[in-house]
Amino acid sequence: MKTAITSTGNTPQAVMDSKFGRCCYFAIYNSESKSVEYLPNPYHDAEDNAGTEAVRLLAKKNVSRIISGEFGLKIKPLLDSMKIQMIVVGSPGKKIVEIIEMLNQNTGK
């Protein structure tokens, strides 16, 4: 299962980005191979439709859930129709490595 996490940098120590569409990087974590792929977000500085384009990009990567701080208005119906789960993390400032650790503990149980 692939999980996308919005990130401010391309290292495991980077902090999660609270914006979805205009985040700097997507960290795509593959729970089978335990590998992380960092994908620079091409819509980082987009004028409009950053969110919907980002969804399309992640859907192509077969991501099945997305972790971010907040999502725009148009995103939820779009992700619902694609059956992608969204997780909104309430506490800001979490590092990518911490989130991946939480996901690992979750599946290890």
Partner 1 sequence: MSPRSKIFRKVVSPPPIKGFKPYGGERAEENLPLVSIQFEEYEALRLCDYDMYNHHQASVLMGVSRPTFTRIYASAREKIARAFVEARQISVEGGKVYFDSDWYHCSGCCCYFNNPEKENSIETCPLCGSKETEEYEMDSAVRETVNTRINDKCVCPACGLEIEHHPGKPCNQEICPACNIKMSRKGESVHGNRKRGIR
Cβ–Cβ under 8 Å, residues 31 and 100: no
Measured from the CB atom, is 60 or 83 closer to partner 1?
83
> Where does this chain touch partner 1 (CB under 8 A) — which range of 9-17, 35-43, 45-53, 73-81?
73-81
The gap between the terminal CA atoms of the chain, to the nearest Å, is: 16
Candidate list 44, 77, 95, 97; residue touching partner 1; CB under 8 A: 77
Cβ–Cβ under 8 Å, residues 39 and 69: no
- Smallest gap from Cβ 45 to partner 1, in A, equals 28
Cβ–Cβ under 8 Å, residues 91 and 18: no
Structure-block tokens of residue 17:
């980005």
Residue 81 sits in the site that holds partner 1 (CB under 8 A): yes
Residue 83 sits in the site that holds partner 1 (CB under 8 A): yes
Residue 76 sits in the site that holds partner 1 (CB under 8 A): yes
